[in-house]
Structure formats: C-alpha cells, structure tokens
Structure 1
Amino acid sequence: MQMLAYLAAALVAVWGIAHAVPTKKVVASFAPITAHNRRILTQEWLAESLTMWGMAALVVAVTATAADIQVTAIVYRGVAALLVCLAVLTIFTGARTPIVWFKVCPVLLATSAALLLVASIPAT
C-alpha cells in the first residue's frame, strides 16, 4: 500500500511542477491586465503549486516514517479530501474552458485521491 501513496505523491508533485513552470506564460496570456492583477494571478497560480508540493511532501513524510498506521491513514484521507475539493473546484472553473490541461486536472487529482484512499485501508 505504501507504493500507492508514493505514486499519488509523485503524481501530485509533478502536477505542481506542471503548474509552476508555465506561470509566466499563463499570466501573460491574460494581457492586458494591471500589474496588481498580474501579481494576484501569479500568486494564485503558484499557491496551487505550493499546495500540491506540500500535500505530496506530507504524504511522503508520513509514509516514510510509518510511525503510526492510524495517523498515516488519517493523513492520507485528509490529503485525499483536499485533492477532491481541488478537483471539484477545477470542474466548476478551469475545466469549463477549452484548455485541455484544465480538463485533465480533475482526473489526475481524483486518481491521486483514490490511490490515497486505497492506501489508507488497513491491511488484514
């Protein structure tokens, strides 16, 4: 089950990178906008990347330490819930645009959440 958690963390971390790398290009695509709005858009775009990296790091940390199976399961479920929330948010916002990557995002986030939920089931 640990491999599922590591796979979910890797997917989320890579998706975070996929958000961070094109930030400048994405923000520029909204031109013309004010400097103030450009900063806000940059902040929000990078905040999603940082959130993904934080979730991935948390999953890796609790998986690698495996100090307490119950705590690990709670963390997996909490991160899965946050991933589902982000997926739903994207379904009602970005995925309604013609940009294909916004349509991929909910699927990737839901897949990662499912992996974590399966990983959180105690072995019998």
Structure 2
Amino acid sequence: MKILDIEEQIGKVFNKITPTGRLSKVKTRNLTGFVCALVVSGIEKEKKYLDEKTFKKYMKELEKCGITEEYLREEHEKEKFKRKDQKVEYVELIFDLNNQVPDGYEPPKSQYNIEEMIGKKFK
C-alpha cells in the first residue's frame, strides 16, 4: 500500500469539519507521519522515542483505520530490504571564494579616493 493510500484510509476515519466549515486534516497528517516513522525506523525504535501513552494511543487509532501492527512490521522489513541494496554516492563540492572572477578581470576604477576623503574629514 502506498503512503497516499494510507493517508486516504486514515483520512476517512479522522478528517473532520470544523465549526467554521473547514476540513481539518491535522489528525490525519500526524498519524500519517507516525506511520512513515514506523515504516522507516521500526516499531521498537519509535517506542523508545515516544511517550508510552502517546505510542499506544496512536497504535489504537491506526487500528481503527485498519492498519495493524503486523502490517507495519512487514512494511518495515520491506523498507529495510530496499535500503540495504541502495548505494549512496558522495560528491565533494568546493566553493573557492577567493577566485570568483574570470581571467583578465580588472576591478573598476573609482573616481573617488577613499583615503583622501577620510584624510580630509579628520584633518
């Protein structure tokens, strides 16, 4: 199941209309982020990072949407397998701020001489 499908599934249960008539997706976004974190880092790691009460609350809310702990574990295993085969290539990017002008560049000549201006003011 793709993340958009999961978000839609959660939205069917938790999206609500506010008293002003707007569609509120706050709970849906929070739970979708929680699902993403569970899939990427695993249930055990997320248990360590979240308060136990909050973790259990989120898991119960996901079960209301039909997303089980078993499903999340399976998705985490699939994600781990995908990541294992990925190669990460690093590129070194260097900005030489001392050589930012083309060959043959001459700085513009000013009609003002700053030393003379400063010298005249303070004499």
Bin of the TM-score, shorter chain as denominator length: 0.3 to 0.5
The structure that is helix-richer by fraction is 1
TM-score, normalised relative to structure 2: 0.36
- Where relative contact order (Cα < 8 A, 6+ residues apart) is larger, the structure is 1
Q: Output the TM-score relative to the length of structure 1.
A: 0.35
